Structures are given as C-alpha cells and as structure tokens.
Structure 1
Amino acid sequence: GLIKVGGDVRDSVPALYLVKAPMKRYCSIKISESGWTPVHESIKQACVEHDFLFVEGAMSAFTGLLNSKISRPASTLEVAASLGAPVIVVVTCDKEGVEGGLVNVLNYINVLKLLGVNPVGVILNKMSTSYLTEEDKLTIQQAFKNVDVKVIGVVPSLKFERREMMIPEVEICYTTFCSQAVDVVERYINLDQLVELAKTPKQVNVDYTVFVEKFKKLLTNYSYNFS
C-alpha cells in the first residue's frame, strides 16, 4: 500500500498505477489543512487491505515544524513520530555532488535521532559513482554503519531515451514509466533489506507542542563533534 503525507497525491499516481491499486481516502494523511484522513485512521484503514505500507513524506521531513499558525501535525516528522515508524531517508546527490549529499544526509540522520525519530535506512539517489574508489565506497559504508543506518540503495544518475521521468505526472506514459521504474528498483535497491527494516505500525501519543519546542531548542543549541 502507498500513502502520501499531505494532499498532493499527484506524486502517488505513478506508483499506484504500477501496483494496480486505486486511490482511496486513506491514501492521503492529513497534516494541518492539507490531506484527507487523520494519520492513525489512515494507517488503520490501510492495514485492513495491505500487509506492507510505504508512507511517502511531503517536502523535507522538517517542513512545517516552525509554523505556529497551523494545526498539528503539520510535518512529515510529526507523522513519523506519531507512528513510531522506521524512516528511510532518500538523499539526492546530483546538485552538490556525492560529498555534499553525504554530509547533508548524515547531519539529517543525526537531527532525526536527537528528536527521537528512528532513521533506519538511506537511499543515495542520482549519485555519480564513476570516480569513487573501492576505498571511498568502504568509507561511505562505514560512515552509515557508525550511525547504525543501512545503505538500502545507491541509484546512479540515469539517462532515459524519453522524458517520462521528468515531466508532470498527468503526462507520463505509464507503460514506459513502469518498465523503467521496476528495472531501477531491481538493479539498485535491496528489497529484502527494505522489508526487514519494516515495523508494525503503532499509535504513539505525541505532544506536538513539546516536540516543536524540542526542535527549536535543538536549533539553538546544536553542537558539532569533530573527533
């Protein structure tokens, strides 16, 4: 099953087409005024029909946390916390290179942990691996091992003959999209490891006011360890 945080379900359409599943109200988790179904009700309904659920976030996991003018939950991070869900971080490494992408995602993982959310895996996307030596690759593996996060996939920058992967969802040729998507996943994502990291959903009572204050305190007291 596939669920989207927030109301922009356009992102879900290609994936739902791929698994031949209809769009239902539980497919959109309500955050603030965006979306359809409250988080725990969404998961409850989805679990009746599915044995395995992907919950796709909206923008950054942190987006919305500092907006005091909207109702809670208002961010992907709050949704993850309220489910006690294992989190897979997908980082895009094309715009700032492998090095910048790695620094960003390791810092991202650190902040998630400090906030009590559980990052368990990472997918390095659009990653140029041509110049990496075997020593470099071992260094990357060790970096994630040190923070107890599995590298689930390393997806290189891919070139497609057609534009299906870059155009609006409503214009995608889904037959071609499905073929390319399945090929990419089977070649570059460790699906067995992904399944092993999944956990049974649970309802966690999160005090969102306290959660946001903890985030603010983290921002103003953030420290770096260069040991």
Structure 2
Amino acid sequence: MTGPQSPQPNSNPSRTASASRPIGRGLLWSAGAFLLGSLLVYNSVDTSADPKPQSHSAVAESPHSSASPAVPDLALPRSAPKRVSIPQIAVDAPFTQLTIGPTGQLNAPPAGDKNLVGWYKDGAAPGERGSAIIAGHVDTKTGPAVFLQLESLKPGATINITREDGIIASFKVDSVETFNKARFPNERVYSDAPTAQLRVITCGGAYDRKVKDYVDNVVVFAHLASFRNA
C-alpha cells in the first residue's frame, strides 16, 4: 500500500510506479512489541491485517509520546473523519473505518479502491487528544494509489481533515520518516500523546519479491495546528 523510500529520516525522493517495481501490494505496518500490547505485521495483498494500535479507551498517556516541543495545545471533541486533503501531494480522498480482525491485527483499507484512506476507529479521532492513526495504499493490483507520493511530503506541509462535525482540522507535518519493518518503532508511532497528533502510514523501501512485501514503512508525524468550520 505504500511507496518505496530509503531508510533515512526526512529523505523524501518522489517516486512513481514503474515496470521494474511490482504493484498490487497492500498496506504493511511493522511488527514489534508495543507499550500496552503487541503489534503484528500485515501484507494487505492478503487482506489480513496491519499492526494493532491501541484502542482509544484503553490507551494511557505515555512519557515517550513524540509530541513536538512547540506544538500548540489545541484539541477538539471526538468526531469521525470524512475526507483528507494534502495539497502538497495532490491527495483528496474519503475515509473508511479500520477495525481489528479476529487475529488481533488491523484490517487494511479495501485494495480495490485506489483513492481511499483508512482510519483506526477505536483510536483517537483526528483533532482529538492522542495519536490518530490513518493509512492508505501506495499502489494496488491495478496501479498507483492514494499515498503513492506520501514519502515526498515535506515538514511544514499541511494535512486537512474534514470531520463529521463540520470542522476542518489542519495538521502541520513535523517529520516524514522511513523505518525498516523489522525494527519499526511501535512505541514512538502508536503510543498515546497529551496533544492532538496524527500519524499517516504507508509502505516504502525496496520491494522484496521473495516475500512479496515492501521492506519499510513511511510514517508522517504531524500535530494539530489549527481548525475551522467547513
């Protein structure tokens, strides 16, 4: 589901699908133990599941949350997201809710829709205090998908999320980083935060033909910078 990228933090070369890179691979999040539970790996081409973030009701604030020192203390009441817009990379897509499957892993967005973003509905809502988790495919079996250019996003860019309560929550990108799935920093990405944070996740790095999976994840770290009525 995500686009390849080198493992260097904030290294964001733009990529496009090509014949040399197989497409049709799904969202992949990385394995590892998390603060209050384990996170599991998933290859969405099998429509199984991604790592398991914590439910909104069960997560406690963590001293290890990655909130930016200068993040304003803004927060909104809980409301589900309807649409995401990222002007810098021409993203404009609706949301679908993501749930935990029977194996304890997070189900991926449907691979048949190339312009669809998933939100983990049992975690924080975008704009609410905590770390809201959203994810999308970089490509599918039919071609490039919604987060093909996510790795090219720059710090300072804006992510606008329109919510069901009619509020547009605007997030400022703090960093765009790439992590090897085998060494994914689960606690940093998924742990709760005392401020309104956003994590945008997709696949990246080289494509391993043997295991039929990308080797990395691209993660965008962002914080709520402002909000307005739609």
> Larger helix proportion, structure 1 or 2?
1
Q: TM-score under structure 2 normalisation?
A: 0.24
Q: TM-score under structure 1 normalisation?
A: 0.24
Q: Larger radius of gyration, structure 1 or 2?
A: 1
Higher relative CO (CA 8 A, sep ≥ 6), structure 1 or 2?
A: 2
